[in-house]
Structure 1
C-alpha cells in the first residue's frame, strides 16, 4: 500500500512539474513557473524512493502504470480533455501490468 500512495503522489508531482515546463515553453507563461516545477520534480523523485522494492528499475516500471492513469486524469481535470474509451482501456491494461510487477510473489534474494 505504501508503494501505491507513493506512486500516486509521485505521479501528481511529476505531471505538475512537467506541466510547469510545458506552460513556460508551450503556453508562453513566465519562467517563474520553473521554480515550483523544479520543486515538484524533486518531490516526485523523492517519493519514488518510498516504493516497496529493492530495485529502482522495478519500482519505476510499476510506477509507469500509475503515471499513465494519472496523466489521463490530469488531462481531463486540468486541461479539460475527457479520456475516450481507448484511453481508459489502455490505462487499465497498464494498471494490470503495474499490479503484476509490484505484487507478484517473489522469492527473497539470497
Structure 2
C-alpha cells in the first residue's frame, strides 16, 4: 500500500498474508492428477526460490484432531483443511478433504460484519 508521499503505509502491513497450500500447474503442465504430497513438494521447491511475499502453508502429516484445531483457533487462524495426501486434486467439495473454520477468526468476523 502506498501513501500520498510514495512511501509504504505501515498501518495495514500485517493485515494480508498470502499462503500457498497447493500447486495445480508446474512449468505449464497440469499436475492435478499427482498426489497431494508430490504437488506440495513441487510447491515447496518453487517457493524456496521466490519466498518474498508468499508463504508456504504448513503441512502437518497425520491425524488432525481437536487439539490442533484448538491451537489454530488460539492463534486466530481462519481454520484448518484436511486432505488425504495420496489423492489427486478435485475441485469443489470432495470426500477426500474436510474444511473446519474458526468462527472467531478475524476473517470470519470481517465476513459477518460485511453481510450484517
- TM-score, normalization by structure 1: 0.30
Higher strand share: 2
Higher helix share: 1
Rg (Cα) greater in structure: 2
- TM-score, normalization by structure 2: 0.29
